Amino acid sequence: MTTIAFIGFGEAAQSIAGGLSGRNAARLAAYDLRFKDPAASAALRDIAAQRRVEPLDDIAGIASADVVLSLVVGAATKAVAASAAPYLSQQAIFIDLNSVGPDTKALAAKEIATGKGSFVEGAVMARVPPYGEKVPILVAGKRAGEVAERLNALGMNLEAVGDTPGQASSLKMIRSVMIKGVEALLIEALSSAERAGVTERILDSVGQTFPGLDWRQVADYYLSRTFEHGARRVTEMTEAAETIETLGLKACMSRAACETIAAAHAAMKDQGLAVTDGYRGFVPVLARRLAKDL
């Protein structure tokens, strides 16, 4: 039986665990700081119980894990690796799935190297829900092929892309320039269109230019992500910009997208919005609030 321990039990980890739950070949556990928080612990423990995940009150509980999946905010990547390293067995594989660039992955790898476990870096290549455990994940590292085969046998969807840490995260970071770039373009274009009174016409026009996409649905999706996960997406775009600059190029678009997403996320806070409001709810607020910041 393969024991899988999550560090960080947020949306992504919960979704993956839900898909793996109940499979006889896997035992699941999770460590999350919120398990110690009286205000959040009960609800989080209920979610863990529904997915047959053992909540760990101390990170030392990962000592029995064969595979550890790190799914935390990007800023905590190195610290989490440092905290986990002393408790990993010689057989254990620590997979860093956080949305950070190759340089940050390298720092995490150095921390894991201080212990007995092995380091594999991973890049989650799509939003985890609704894929769950089948979300596409690229992995790189000396044991990437081995762990991909092991977890794919449990129903996951890992692809080994190399034996050098940084290869998977480079792919994700460069892809993020496109994905978050579209998000930033929508924020700027639709906020402007709202102030000009031409929002629906703009969406109609873009739909004619790119007929394969429903741009109203695209706008709903991206703006909901800005609203709900903007801070995390800003961290990822900062890492993407640094990745590009490490390659000797200017990251003009990435830096601008980072600034645009950060401003939009801040503008939507405390405005009585819900993630389900869609562009018709988000855009009027952005048009009004972003204008005040000019």
What's the confidence (pLDDT) of residue 152? 97
- The helix (H) or strand (E) run that includes residue 255 is helix 252-268
In this structure, are residues 122 and 95 in contact, taking their beta carbons and an 8 Å threshold?
yes
pLDDT over 80 at 291, yes or no: yes
- Strand arrangement, sheet containing 2-7: 53-56, 26-31, 2-7, 67-70, 93-96, 118-124, 137-140, 158-162
Query: Average pLDDT for residues 167-188, to the nearest whole number?
Result: 96
Q: Which CATH number applies to 169-290: 1.10.1040.10, 2.60.40.10, 3.40.50.80, 1.10.10.60?
A: 1.10.1040.10
pLDDT over 70 at 293, yes or no: no
Which tokens belong to 229? 């996960």
Neighbouring C-beta atoms of residue 78, cutoff 10 Å:
20
Residues 6 or more apart whose Cβ sits within 8 Å of residue 182: 218, 222
In this structure, are residues 71 and 10 in contact, taking their beta carbons and an 8 Å threshold?
yes
What's the confidence (pLDDT) of residue 209? 97
Provide the 8-state DSSP code for 262: H
Q: Round the average pLDDT of the chain to a whole number and report it.
A: 95
∠ CA 192-193-199, nearest 5°, is 150
Query: Average pLDDT for residues 63-82, to the nearest whole number?
Result: 96
pLDDT over 60 at 241, yes or no: yes
Query: Average pLDDT for residues 24-45, to the nearest whole number?
Result: 91
Give pLDDT tens digits for 139-162: 999 999 999 999 999 999 999 999
CATH topology of domain 2-163: Rossmann fold (3.40.50)
For the chain, which residues make up each domain, given as ranges? 2-163, 169-290
Give pLDDT tens digits for 218-237: 999 999 999 999 999 999 99
Query: Average pLDDT for residues 77-106, to the nearest whole number?
Result: 97
Count the helix, strand and coil residues of the chain and give each as a percent rounded to the nearest 5: 60, 15, 25
